Amino acid sequence: MRRRLINSTLAVVLVVIAVFGVSLVIVETRTIQSGAQESVASEAVRLVGIVESRLGSGEKITPQILSEQITAHRYAEITVPGKPRIEIGQRPVGDVIESEVRGDRGESVRVQESRSTVSAEIGRTLLVILAVALLAILAAVVLAVRQARRLTAPLTDLAETAERLGSGDPRPRHRRYGVQELDRVADVLDASAERIARMLTAERRLAADASHQLRTPLTALSMRLEEITLTDDPDTVKEEATIALAQVERLTDVVQRLLTNSRDPRSGSAVAFDLDEVVKQQIEEWRPAYRSAGRAIVRSGKKSLRAVGTPGAVAQVLATLIENSLMHGDGTVALRTRVTGNQAVVEVTDAGPGVPPDLGSRVFERTVSGRNSTGLGLAVARDLAEADGGRLELLQQHPPVFALFLAREGEPTEE
């Protein structure tokens, strides 16, 4: 492209120089020729005037006097009646420019100039025009190269940016080039890079959230299946299988919610539900795991509470808190329900060391963990709570008290 820009620029310059150069040569040639003719005629008139003046005053007319009045490279022939002819200069040979003027006393003056002198002047003029044309071409080459670089360098840079986007590097470069069209392309590429970065971030976040959120229900499901394999009692098998099927349904709900949140994290499907049922279901699911660890999980507080939210999301939030207490806490885990204002609250606490002081304000941030875990659980749980208009907070660091706030049925949800 750079070569085409240079060639096109030079082609335009050469056409302009050719058109104006030829016209200028024609005009200058005619001007020089007509100027030489007028100069010869003027000199003849001037010599006639001198001759008449001297004849009128009776002065002598000599070649020495007249030679001072004529241009050096010209030839003059003066004829006066009754006197010898006077010649000044050397008669030119070949083609000449000539002018003859007659005076009132019968005298005549003929002035000649060789056309070779005029041709030499025309040649010098053509050399000047050619030199100017060459300088113009040289300047055009320099400007064409600079302009080609100015235009092709941004295009090369934009191509590199597009290649970086295609190779998976979506960082916007925010470079501008002072050319409106190229800057528009750069704006579009930067906007595309930002969109791709957001999409990649959302995909990575979905993968991380999925691996973390699916782990808890899969662990609970695995425990139920283990219970089935360890018993021969048909009633126990039937009971455990029923619970396992319910867990599979909740697992399906978790997957559906993950996909929904990946498109719009605020697209909660909040409904009124029985909070006691969700709390009871979580305790029953996690009791075998706590029993295996030699610990207990209990509930207390206000009963018959109805809250507004997504039951599956609320169950997932509580499962995250219960699992954290199992992994990082100690002693009995207690779930307490209460009412504060227009909200229903579920508190989860244990007798463990709690949250380190330096992590208290950052415990819900992603990748923040004081126990060598992924640091995703509480962050995902908070996102789930906020998607339905609720909130998840750390009320106390030691012993740890986490609280899930949900709008009560019949009360306006928080925006």
Domains present along the chain, CATH in parentheses:
2-140 (3.30.450.250), 204-408 (3.30.565.10)
pLDDT tens track, the chain, 415 positions: 677 777 888 888 888 888 888 898 899 999 998 998 999 999 889 888 888 888 888 788 778 777 877 888 889 988 988 888 888 888 888 888 999 998 888 889 899 998 888 888 899 999 999 999 899 888 888 888 887 777 777 777 778 878 877 777 777 777 787 778 778 888 888 888 888 777 777 666 666 666 666 666 777 777 778 778 877 888 888 877 887 787 777 677 667 766 665 555 444 567 899 999 999 988 988 888 898 899 999 999 999 899 998 888 898 899 889 988 998 899 999 999 999 999 999 999 999 888 888 777 778 887 666 555 555 678 888 888 888 789 999 999 888 999 999 999 865 444 3
| The pLDDT value given to residue 414 | 42
* Kind and range of the H or E run holding 124: helix 115-166
387 neighbors 268 (Cβ within 8 angstroms): yes
* Kind and range of the H or E run holding 299: strand 297-301
134 neighbors 144 (Cβ within 8 angstroms): no
| The pLDDT value given to residue 209 | 61
| The pLDDT value given to residue 68 | 77
| The pLDDT value given to residue 375 | 56
DSSP symbols for 181-196: HHHHHHHHHHHHHHHH
* Kind and range of the H or E run holding 203: helix 180-229
Tokens of 339: 């009412």
Task: Residue 107: name the closest of 42, 50, 63 by CA.
Answer: 50
C-alpha 392: how far from its chain's center? 39
| The pLDDT value given to residue 336 | 96
Give the β-pairing of 108-114 and 297-301: unpaired
- Give the Cα-Cα-Cα angle 353, 355, 359 (nearest 5 degrees): 150
| The pLDDT value given to residue 351 | 92
User: 271 φ, ψ to 5°?
Assistant: -140, 165
Residues listed for the chain: 415
Question: What is the torsional sign of CA 226, 229, 233, 235?
Answer: positive
User: 230 φ, ψ to 5°?
Assistant: -95, 0
What is d(CA 363, CA 344) in angstroms, rounded to the nearest whole number? 23
Task: Residue 107: name the closest of 61, 165, 146 by CA.
Answer: 61
| The pLDDT value given to residue 12 | 86
